[in-house]
Amino acid sequence: MRDILKKLIEGEISIDEAENQIKISHVQELGENVKFDSSRENRIGIPEAVYARGKTDDDLLNIINNIDSVNNLMITKLNEDRFNDIKQYINKDVLKNSNYSKIASILTINNTEIKKSKGKVGIITAGTADVPIAEESRITLEQAGYSVVKTYDVGVAGIHRLIDKISYLLNEKVDVIITLAGMEGALPSVVAGIVDMPVIAVPTSTGYGVGEKGFIALFSMLQSCAPGIATMNIDNGYGAGVYAITILKQIEKRVNEGF
């Protein structure tokens, strides 16, 4: 969009031409089922992502093989079996620039080098079972160029494990902490009662019995007695990563403006 506006200011194109180019740059129509927002990253500054669940294999391949205006792309919630099913149909030029994370169920496609950004995020999981969603957050952040410091399996069931890791994250000078927990979801409350930075809570669907599917963890995080926690939806590691990115971008913006 910046290039289009520059051409308009310099008189290289008319207002009507600029309007048409902006409209085209916003949406890439890939058949009847897909209207791809190709300027999302430029507009709001987060990595472009496509949610795999609910889409057919043909829809996914249509997006992966035909998007020509996005340099960096994530396909989220893409399980290994499904990735293996479609892998052979992905264009070779696209596939060579891609990486699949089995644990996070994410396919990343990077046609250009990711520009490094200032800012660092800590990620803490209560248990090992929460790691897949934590890895979704990590990959999202790294797709935006941010550094991640992770420490996994340090939940309140053995709270002595957590204290050292909090000190570790503080020494690493992280700007935001993402916490992920299932079961009773107590981890973010403990962390937010200790640190002086934004804490993002992600309930995971690792509980059982009354905690099945993550609802108890969600309610606990929403009802936390530690103030100021931002709670995501169940298993929404991507959303947590995006929220951390928006915080870091605002910090960077204010620093650049001299505030």
Strands 48-51 and 72-76: parallel
Contact present, 142 and 119 (Cβ < 8 Å):
no
Contact indicator for 226, 189 with CB cutoff of 8 Å: yes
| Residue-by-residue pLDDT tens, the chain, 259 positions | 666 777 778 888 787 776 666 655 565 555 566 566 666 666 677 777 889 998 899 889 988 887 765 668 899 999 999 999 999 999 888 888 899 999 999 999 987 888 888 899 999 999 999 999 999 999 999 999 999 999 999 988 888 889 999 999 999 999 999 999 999 999 999 999 999 999 999 999 998 898 889 999 999 999 999 998 999 999 999 999 999 999 999 988 877 777 6
Note whether 198 and 144 are within 8 A (CB).
no
- Both tokens assigned to 224: 């936390």
Cα→Cα distances 172→147, 166, 193, 197, 254, Å: 11, 10, 19, 13, 22
Residue 80 to residue 93: CA distance in whole angstroms = 21
Structure-token pair, residue 151 = 């420490």
Q: Which residue has the tokens 């070779």?
A: 92
Neighbouring residues of 116: CB distance < 8 A, sequence distance ≥ 6:
145
- Give the DSSP H/E element, type plus range, for residue 192: helix 187-192
Query: How far is 136 from 101, CA to CA, in rounded Å?
Result: 9
pTM for the whole structure: 0.84
Alpha-carbon distance of 183 to 215, in angstroms, equals 9
Domain residue ranges of the chain, discontinuous segments joined by +: 27-110, 120-255
pLDDT of residue 33: 61
Extract the runs of DSSP E, i.e. beta strands, from 77-126: 98-101, 106-110, 120-125
pLDDT recorded at residue 157:
86
Give the HSE-up count for residue 136: Cα atoms under 13 Å, Cβ half-sphere.
25
> Domain 120-255, what fold?
Rossmann fold (3.40.50)
